[in-house]
């Protein structure tokens, strides 16, 4: 059986995901292979956790997609996944060329990938499929005096919770519109509790998994404390969203619920969520399923089969490097 090499782009700090794929490909399972990563920052921790590093141009380079395809051809890569919001749209647009190089891109179609990043297009896309979305407006197409305050001013294309402002009245909305550097939408600030659902779809957009989690604490848009839930309503919502939008690959769906009613889906990220270790610890097994799909298999759905009551609390960790004749290399820490 051929190796199933995996390329994780813009890998940054996602050592957790790199290690999870290495465990699948280097353990006792049926598949073998290498985990390759790319990142422009030479000090990105993921570079020192992978089997190999692939040199790619900046995502903004017009040749980025072709460079990914060439790297897949040269390294025998079978699966490509982005680990940040920087390149899902570019990779989805380049998917045909990457497939011709022998690799599958674990992303939805390019128009869906873009729709998930653009808050206005996401709102329209959810509405078109009968999925719940908060009331959302373009700032120049609504009378501020008629809005149901509080509202949120959100960048149409944003990440990590940047440039999101809560506005209590028209004066605050006008202030933050002047203050924000981003093209924005206005969205009703939903009451109730926020939840995230870590999902996986196969290459046809068939829902394979959906793990709901409580958002106990977040910092800078990154969840640092959370708990997996036994919640059929959220599993059903996530599966319906994955299959309606044909969300191939990993995705994270965020929503608000009050009194047992889902009020709206507020975000869809077409990548692994920041809290990846939590669903992984609860038995989601998404890296193993992705490797199996890349190997030509068709894993069965495992909706609702995760373990509820698994709690994550995060802490800082680090990789210590030493500069030598061959460049930077990890060193064993002194205990």
pLDDT tens sequence across 144-181: 999 999 999 999 987 656 779 999 999 999 999 998 88
Given a cut of 70, whether residue 184 has pLDDT beyond it is: yes
Mean pLDDT across the stretch 131-137?
A: 97
Q: What is the pLDDT of residue 332?
A: 74
In 3D, which of 275, 249, 128, 89 has the Cα closest to residue 197?
275
For 244, list phi and psi in degrees, rounded to 5: -70, -40
Considering the chain, what is the average pLDDT of its residues? Answer: 95
Q: What would the mean pLDDT of 17-27 be, rounded to a whole number?
A: 95
Residues 75-101, mean pLDDT to the nearest whole number: 97
pTM summary value: 0.94
Can you tell me the mean pLDDT for 121-143? 96
Q: In this structure, what DSSP letter does residue 130 have? A: T
Mean pLDDT of 10-25: 97
Q: With both helix axes pointing from N to C terminus, report the angle between 110-117 and 232-245 in degrees, rounded to the nearest 10.
A: 130
The pLDDT value recorded for residue 182 is 86
Averaged over 117-125, what is the pLDDT? 96
| Helix, coil or strand: residue 108 | coil
Q: What is the pLDDT of residue 163?
A: 79
For position 51, what pLDDT does the model report?
97
Q: Compute the Cα dihedral for 319, 252, 257, 310 and give only its sign.
A: negative
Residues 6 or more apart whose Cβ sits within 8 Å of residue 145: 170
Residue range 5-14: mean pLDDT, rounded? 97
């Amino acid at each position: 059986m051929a190796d199933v090499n995996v390329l994780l782009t813009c890998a940054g700090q996602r050592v957790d995901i790199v290690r999870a794929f290495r465990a699948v490909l280097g353990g006792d399972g049926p598949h073998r292979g290498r985990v390759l990563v790319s990142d422009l920052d030479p000090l990105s921790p993921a570079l020192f956790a992978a089997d190999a590093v692939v040199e790619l141009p900046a995502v903004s380079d017009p040749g980025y997609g072709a460079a990914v395809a060439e790297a897949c051809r040269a390294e025998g890569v079978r699966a490509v996944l982005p680990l940040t919001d920087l390149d899902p749209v570019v990779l989805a647009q380049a998917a045909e060329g990457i497939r011709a190089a022998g690799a599958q891109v674990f992303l939805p179609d390019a128009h869906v990938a873009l729709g998930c990043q653009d808050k206005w297009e996401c709102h329209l896309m959810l509405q078109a499929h009968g999925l719940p979305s908060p009331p959302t407006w373009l700032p120049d197409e609504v009378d501020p005096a008629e809005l149901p305050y509080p509202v949120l001013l959100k960048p149409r294309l944003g990440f990590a919770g940047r440039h999101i402002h809560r506005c209590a009245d028209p004066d605050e909305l006008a202030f933050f519109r002047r203050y924000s550097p981003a093209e924005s939408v206005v969205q009703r600030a939903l009451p109730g509790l926020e939840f995230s659902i870590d999902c996986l779809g196969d290459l046809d957009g068939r829902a394979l998994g959906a793990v709901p989690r409580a958002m106990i604490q977040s910092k800078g848009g990154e969840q640092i404390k959370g708990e997996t839930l036994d919640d059929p309503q959220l599993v059903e919502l996530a599966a319906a969203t994955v299959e309606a939008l044909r969300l191939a690959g990993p995705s994270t769906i965020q929503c608000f619920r009050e009194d047992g009613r889902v009020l709206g889906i507020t975000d869809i990220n077409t990548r692994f969520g920041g809290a990846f270790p939590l669903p992984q610890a609860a038995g989601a097994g998404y890296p193993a399923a992705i490797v199996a799909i890349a190997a030509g298999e068709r894993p069965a759905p495992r909706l609702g089969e995760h373990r509820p009551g698994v709690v994550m609390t995060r802490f800082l960790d680090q990789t210590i490097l030493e500069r030598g004749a061959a460049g930077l290399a990890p060193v064993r820490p002194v205990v």
